Structure 1
Amino acid sequence: MAEETVVPMMFLFLFLLMKRRAEFEGASIERRNDAQRRLRLRQYFQQRQRKMILMVMARGGCRCNCRTRIWCKPRTSDWWERVVMKDFQPNDWLENFRMSKETFFHICNKLKPMVSRRNTHLRPALPLEKRVAVAFWRLATNVEYRIISHLFGIGRSTVCKCVREVCHAIVSLLKPLYLKMPANQEYETIAQMFGRKWDFPQCVGAIDSCHIPIIAPPQYHKDYLNKQGWHSVVLQGVVDDSGKFWDVCTGFSGSSLDTKNLRNSALWRMATEGRLFPDCSRDILRTPVKYLLIGSSSYPLQEWLLKPYSETAKLTQHQLVFNYRLSQAHTVIDEAFGRLRARWQCLLKRNDCSLELIPTMITACCILHNICEKHNDSFNNDWRGVLGQEEFPQPKQVMSDNTVDRQAEEIRQVLSTYFISQGES
């Protein structure tokens, strides 16, 4: 009888013991959660108190340096505010920003919708003109962000952000205005100027390519290695008689050939679909000749794109004269590339920007080139000195397409005869 009463008592004792232990552990967990909750509340109120202090300081008329000192190292913008904005002469603007002061502020006004920023309670926004100046300094010199940071009194990350935002804004806002396909009447004007300057009829543009040095991308090391042995991206451009670009396509790897780049561009697609030029022909020696481009021997011969005769074979007098006339007219794009790279030296020196930003930066430089040329900003011929000392000489062009287009060959022969007859007359 005693054993029957002891066993239930033992189970009851164990049950009460386990219940007590669970209650103790639950109370311990609740105390720990309560302590963590009080700690979070304390941190929240401390952060809120700190934010209220900053807002009171901002609204209380505290100077800019007092507010920004909380967030970054003390820097001075005296050079920008006092020297550039007040003491810079016209030559200083041209030498440092590669354009006149009037053109600079004209561009700033155009970029205002995308580049300007508003002040906050914590710090004042960087002025629009200063943002644009930072980007132009980088494009004109290709110096390190650290140097630009010290010069303008801003952080390196801010320099990087300004360059990126301004380049994207230039392409988005200014490309439709300053780098676009000519209208029908403009084609006629360009053709007349090519005929007047170089006596090359029906020519409305010269096409060529240019290699821009870059840092070797780790994942595409061989793809961007060009024939000269350095890494680059290719800029394909078309210019009018005055050396202004009306079509650019960039971002191709340095190892790609000109023919491949052309076939992958929108220019080729429009030409093959018959949408590149208006249907306007001129009879030359009783043969209708439409508008056309002229290119180097590395491009394919097309009805709308003429290139010189190959000099590997023995050429006739007609062919030699055609090559000479074409090479004379084609110098306009060589001159345009020279002025472009001399003015914006980020295209001349090795560019350490990300591979995603470089095509946008190159296109932005072409747009700025057109703006400066249109506004007749002076070009300092001393800038050309860097072209003869460049570390990365342009690779030699390779003839990559021997396809013979029957209509294109006929047009080339007609023009060869036309040039000879012009010489005789």
Structure 2
Amino acid sequence: MPSSKNETPTWDFENRASEMADSDQGRVRKARTPSPAAYHGGETAAEDGGGQRRRLWVKERSKGWWKYHNSDECPDDEFRKAFRMSKATFNMICDELDSVVMKKNTTLRMAIPVRQRVAVCIYRLATGDPLRTVSALFGLGISTCHKLVLEVCAAIRTVLMPKYLQWPDQERLAEIKTAFGSISGIPDINGSIYTTHISIIAPKTNQEAYYNRKHTERNQKPSYSTTVQGLVDPRGVFMDICIGYPGSMSDEQILDKSALSQRSKLGMLEKTWVVGNSGYPLKDWMLVPYTHQNLTWSQHTFNQKVNEVQKIGKDAFMRLKGRWGCLQKRIEVKLQELPMVLGACCVLHNICEMNNEEMDEDLRFDLYDDEMELGLESGRGISVNALQDRDRIAYNLLHCNHGNK
């Protein structure tokens, strides 16, 4: 993806001086030495240059919220509200990431446990809460929480993505075609595609590429975005994603640069259909609705069936953004780190879908303004075969109750 340095928020670090209450004057003043009430000390095993032992002062933080949610006392419903998944699914993720995420204790401090590391990341992605809030809930420093989010997202990409977000094998592909056929009556559909936009902080360079005109018009202020293209199966599970192209690009432009388009050039999409909305072009391997006026009955029937399949892709992105609240607002991550974070959200989405994780109705998120300019059926690059195949499918849907060519 394009790489550029973008403006990032200034994270608050721990103050070296603590604030103490002055009981005599009734005011708060800065202390040159840490207050025993605010800090606890622990000796290090090392000695300074003078041969004297150093004393390490560590700010004491409340971990009550996390201790409760990490205990058997916390009901599963309450845990799910915070982390968007059941304890069982969370435990499974921790087990699979354990060897990669685990850190060793040092002479200076105890390592943060794996479960807490993973929880910090998932909570931040799920709620989109400010790092200051995450820091207070988990009893960790703000900068530590930011680092943990990136480390766990990287681990998810390395360990979980190859297992939970993958192109289907022939056996699975046959199941997918059968399921989509039952839904639409159109044979050989292997996926529903959709592209969404994620708001970002304006990059310092190449701003025009990330400028999102539609979001700017809606928000009445300059808006910038990056994109996520996803192909899903009948369950709404991602099988292929393309992340990070600038928000000024159309769905068609992103598709042309994606790995999915490369698969088609390698012949991996022969005798299959990808179904998309009118923002995508009609291709030998992609079906899109008719967009001209005065549709025939067969064309109208075709559009209805295609929309049923396309809705599966859009609904998957609605659940993706609904579960992971960080995607609903301007995401405060460096541009070069975005693919890792967004990819982790897609993997976690798949894990939740595969484990039938319930999603509260109040988390429902409506997508808007994600469709870019409508594709032009008469545009260059549309083959005569693609037009004829679509017409045959449309005719058969109306007259033969199936879409066989």
Which TM bucket (shorter chain)?
0.7 to 0.9
Correspondences of 1:402-417 after superposition (within 5 Å): 402-403=379-380, 404-417=382-395
Distance in structure 2 (CA, Å) of the matches to 1:164 and 1:412: 45
In the other structure, the counterpart of 1:9 is none
Deviation at 1:423, TM superposition (A): 4.6
In the other structure, the counterpart of 1:252 is 245
Distance in structure 2 (CA, Å) of the matches to 1:133 and 1:411: 49
- Find the residue that maps to 1:213 and give its secondary structure: strand
In the other structure, the counterpart of 1:73 is 59
In the other structure, the counterpart of 1:399 is 374
Match of 2:142 among 143, 156, 176: 156
In the other structure, the counterpart of 1:421 is 399
Amino acid at match of 1:96: A
Distance in structure 1 (CA, Å) of the matches to 2:340 and 2:60: 33
Change (3 A) 1:331 1:83: closer
Greater fraction of residues in strand: 2
Amino acid at match of 1:126: I
Superposed CA deviations along residues 169-227 of structure 1, whole A, max 9, x for unmatched, are 10111111100000001111001001112222111101110011111112132221113
Correspondences of 1:15-414 after superposition (within 5 Å): 46-47=48-49, 49-50=51-52, 53=53, 70-228=56-214, 229=216, 230-274=223-267, 276-277=268-269, 290-311=271-292, 313-384=293-364, 387-388=365-366, 393-400=368-375, 402-403=379-380, 404-414=382-392
Change (3 A) 1:78 1:195: same
Deviation at 1:48, TM superposition (A): 6.1
Relative contact order, higher structure (CA 8 A, sep 6+): 2
Whether the aligned pair in 2 keeps the contact of 1:99 and 1:377 (CA below 8 Å) is yes
Whether the aligned pair in 2 keeps the contact of 1:257 and 1:400 (CA below 8 Å) is no
Whether the aligned pair in 2 keeps the contact of 1:200 and 1:329 (CA below 8 Å) is no
Question: How many residues end up aligned between the 2 structures?
Answer: 348
Distance in structure 2 (CA, Å) of the matches to 1:161 and 1:48: 34
- % same residue: 36
- Find the residue that maps to 1:394 and give its secondary structure: coil
Deviation at 1:83, TM superposition (A): 4.6
Change (3 A) 1:209 1:46: closer
Distance in structure 2 (CA, Å) of the matches to 1:48 and 1:327: 75
Change (3 A) 1:124 1:399: same
Deviation at 1:377, TM superposition (A): 1.4
Whether the aligned pair in 1 keeps the contact of 2:64 and 2:137 (CA below 8 Å) is no
TM-score w.r.t. the length of structure 2 is 0.82
Amino acid at match of 1:364: A
Unaligned runs of 5+ in 1: 1-43, 55-66, 280-289
TM-score w.r.t. the length of structure 1 is 0.78
Report which of the two structures shows the higher radius of gyration computed on alpha carbons: 1
In the other structure, the counterpart of 2:32 is none
Distance in structure 1 (CA, Å) of the matches to 2:49 and 2:399: 87
Superposed CA deviations along residues 123-143 of structure 1, whole A, max 9, x for unmatched, are 000000000000011101111
Superposed CA deviations along residues 66-120 of structure 1, whole A, max 9, x for unmatched, are x8xx243221223222453242111011100000001001001111122110101
Whether the aligned pair in 2 keeps the contact of 1:194 and 1:241 (CA below 8 Å) is yes
Whether the aligned pair in 2 keeps the contact of 1:227 and 1:395 (CA below 8 Å) is no
Distance in structure 2 (CA, Å) of the matches to 1:414 and 1:48: 87
Distance in structure 1 (CA, Å) of the matches to 2:194 and 2:66: 39
Greater fraction of residues in helix: 1
Distance in structure 2 (CA, Å) of the matches to 1:187 and 1:258: 25
Superposed CA deviations along residues 44-67 of structure 1, whole A, max 9, x for unmatched, are 9743634xx35xxxxxxxxxxxx8
Amino acid at match of 1:196: S
Whether the aligned pair in 2 keeps the contact of 1:168 and 1:360 (CA below 8 Å) is yes
Distance in structure 2 (CA, Å) of the matches to 1:395 and 1:417: 31
Amino acid at match of 1:301: L
Distance in structure 1 (CA, Å) of the matches to 2:120 and 2:282: 43
